Structure 1
Amino acid sequence: MAEIKCVGILTSGGDAPAMNAAIRAVTRAAIYNGFEVKGIMRGYRGLITGEIFPMKTQNVSNIIQQGGTILKTARCKEFTTPEGRQIAYDTMQKEGIDALVVIGGDGSLTGARIFASEYNIPIVGLPGTIDNDLYGTDTTIGYDTALNTIMEATDKIRDTASSHERLFFIEVMGRNAGFLALNGAIATGAEAAIIPEIATEVDQLAELIQNGFRKSKNSSIVLVAESELTGGAMGLAERVKNEYPQYDVRVTILGHIQRGGSPTASDRILASRMGEAAINALLEGQRNIMVGIQNDELVYVPFTKAIRNDKPINRDLLNTIKILSI
């Protein structure tokens, strides 16, 4: 394996709080260990367009507290083609970049796996996604901040919900993963969480209504994961209107508010630890791996496992919500 002298960093896919903390940690750990560092703008698109610049330690000063990503992020259809990846590789060669650190979610790491296998490039991935849906890591960069944002927003909705006899559906992100909805429901004292993982097993809305969820309460809050499997908050509200017209329903879709904001201490620490670990992995000759965390220990997870395996939810938490919502 050729000696690594220059490491490129990019953020790809949806942004997540503490991506900047990860960029800072990768940059400074790389410089500390004698590597040259180059920042790649707008994800994989920057590898194709050549939006690349040298990064020094001062480039990452005062960014640990900022949401978003200073390297920007973008979807790149061209990178999904062999021709696009050839251009990206040629750009890496031209810029003298020997290895990549990719910060992003499932799609970003899928692209990294394909690129690494085609051109034998050392690539280390960091799990940057609020969805917390990557296998092999207990939590992902940005998840804790998003969960706290959901909690704060839901607390405010609870204030107004308690003034009305209504059923509130609050839709949260997560794509096809119910981690934000499930843990958000526990953190906010919600009456239920409707999640995609069990959508094909039970009619969660019917079960909610039939269990008499409002026996002792004048209002109820239900967190819903955005997903075709759950129908989303709007779909569920339409069902209630048609099937249970006795209930007055309101919908709040939290949307992109969940991705923004200053990262929590937990996310800053996680991103900092993972960023340093990415450079350590390259020093150890690791490639095609994602840095994860299990039982507070940093681990290396092969891309194939992180991407292809579904991360299971803790089903005991569903029972916790049910017990605590009486």
Structure 2
Amino acid sequence: MPKKIEKIAVLTSGGDAPGMNAAIRAVVRTCAYHNVECYGVYQGYEGLIEGDFEILNARSVKGIINKGGTFLKSARSQKFRTKEGRQQAYDNLIKANIDGLVVIGGDGSFTGAMIFNQEFEFPVMGIPGTIDNDIVGTTHTLGFDTALNTVVDAIDKIRDTASSHNRLFFIEVMGRDVGHIALNTGIAGGAEEILIPEEDLGLDRLVDSLNRSRKSGKSSSIVIVAEGDKIGKNIFELKDFIDENMEGYDVRVSVLGHMQRGGAPSCFDRVLASRMGVKAVESLLEGETNYMVGLINSKMELTPLEKAIKGKTKINLELLRVSDIMST
């Protein structure tokens, strides 16, 4: 029989994402609903090692569902990568009589949680929070939908300038290893071309696409580039190539950067965070451990942390085809 869960701690780790505060709120209020004490851990795993946590109740998390970022703060802990650091974290949890841990973060955060569970058999549950949507076991990670809306809004504004001055804009979005943000926002923003890590389209195709656009009468163009795209060393090298090899284009570059992580979470992310928080706590109370909660076929499901970490998300091939058709 697993030990009855009476106290649960929650932390956020890795890069922040819109919806993390909503998820914390959901964890805390689900604990309150089930008469379980909840502790908030500050500064991620570093806070576990330092013992930087405090009791949270339903009123502690009022007014945060609409806030971006994470009020518990986030940090990448080098100490937690060591056995000594994890031992110190475990000792602090036991000292506070905490029985379970909810980790909100990405694959690096889940790797730490999985190792922690394996070493100390401490119950853990993961909630996927990353704008890249690059974790297996959920169709949407927290922050992905909000990031898409933020990027599309930026593309719309940039297009106004591109159209006014007959310019070609390369717009770089986040996505070091996956192109989910680029592909979705490129279609929604009416981009002429979308460059993603999963599909090496090559410079020749890019040039052909831009030539077709110009011959069809387009006086301005938008090209969305995922930061991990392999065509050039970086987006500025792409600009230089077009400047050198294609006449008649006034080329500009816009790197959206960390603005994609900020802002109030969308309605979708707030609801998703609430559902994930409830599922995470109730799964721990039911004796489940070493899982990540996720959205699959519109339902909350559990995926082993190891599978979530080691799996590789796949790009939507239908969206690629839609993108090709829409850029005609």
CA deviation map 1:12-44 (0-9, x unaligned): 000000100000000000111121100000100
CA offset at residue 78 of structure 1? 1.1
Partner of 1:30: 31
CA offset at residue 80 of structure 1? 1.1
Distance 1:249 1:234 in 2: 10
Unaligned ranges ≥5, structure 1: none
For 1:162, give the aligned amino acid: S
Which has the larger displacement, 209-218 or 45-54? 209-218
Distance 1:40 1:172 in 2: 31
CA offset at residue 114 of structure 1? 1.0
Partner of 1:274: 276
For 2:208, give the aligned amino acid: Q
Distance 1:235 1:117 in 2: 45
Q: Secondary structure at the match of 1:83?
A: helix
For 1:214, give the aligned amino acid: R
Distance 2:317 2:246 in 1: 27
CA offset at residue 121 of structure 1? 0.9
Partner of 1:206: 204
Is 1:252 aligned with 2:254?
A: yes
CA offset at residue 239 of structure 1? 2.9
Q: Is the 8 A contact 2:196 2:229 kept in 1?
A: no
CA offset at residue 177 of structure 1? 1.0
Distance 2:281 2:214 in 1: 53
For 1:250, give the aligned amino acid: R
CA deviation map 1:115-174 (0-9, x unaligned): 111110110000101000001110111100000000001100000000122221111112
CA deviation map 1:218-240 (0-9, x unaligned): 11101111126354422322332
Partner of 1:229: 230
Partner of 2:171: 170
Q: Is the 8 A contact 1:225 1:232 kept in 2?
A: no
Partner of 2:289: 287
Q: Is the 8 A contact 1:135 1:307 kept in 2?
A: yes
Taking the TM superposition and a 5 Å limit, the aligned residue runs for 1:135-146 are 135-146=136-147
For 2:56, give the aligned amino acid: M
CA deviation map 1:48-97 (0-9, x unaligned): 11111111111100110111101000111111111111111111111221
Q: Is the 8 A contact 1:178 1:225 kept in 2?
A: yes
Taking the TM superposition and a 5 Å limit, the aligned residue runs for 1:1-326 are 1-199=2-200, 202-203=201-202, 205-211=203-209, 212-215=212-215, 216-227=217-228, 229-230=230-231, 231-244=233-246, 246-326=248-328
Q: Is the 8 A contact 1:224 1:232 kept in 2?
A: no
Q: Secondary structure at the match of 2:165?
A: coil
Q: Secondary structure at the match of 1:39?
A: strand
Return closer, same or farther for 1:288/1:245 CA change in 2, 3 Å cut-off: farther
Distance 2:260 2:154 in 1: 9
Q: TM-score when scaled to structure 2? A: 0.95
Aligned length: 323
Return closer, same or farther for 1:86/1:245 CA change in 2, 3 Å cut-off: farther
Distance 1:12 1:155 in 2: 32
Return closer, same or farther for 1:83/1:243 CA change in 2, 3 Å cut-off: farther
Distance 2:81 2:245 in 1: 44
Distance 1:50 1:153 in 2: 41
Unaligned ranges ≥5, structure 2: none
CA offset at residue 248 of structure 1? 2.5
Return closer, same or farther for 1:85/1:228 CA change in 2, 3 Å cut-off: farther
- Share of identical aligned residues, percent? 53
For 2:213, give the aligned amino acid: F
CA offset at residue 282 of structure 1? 0.8
CA offset at residue 243 of structure 1? 4.0
Stretches of 4+ moved more than 4 A in 1?
A: none
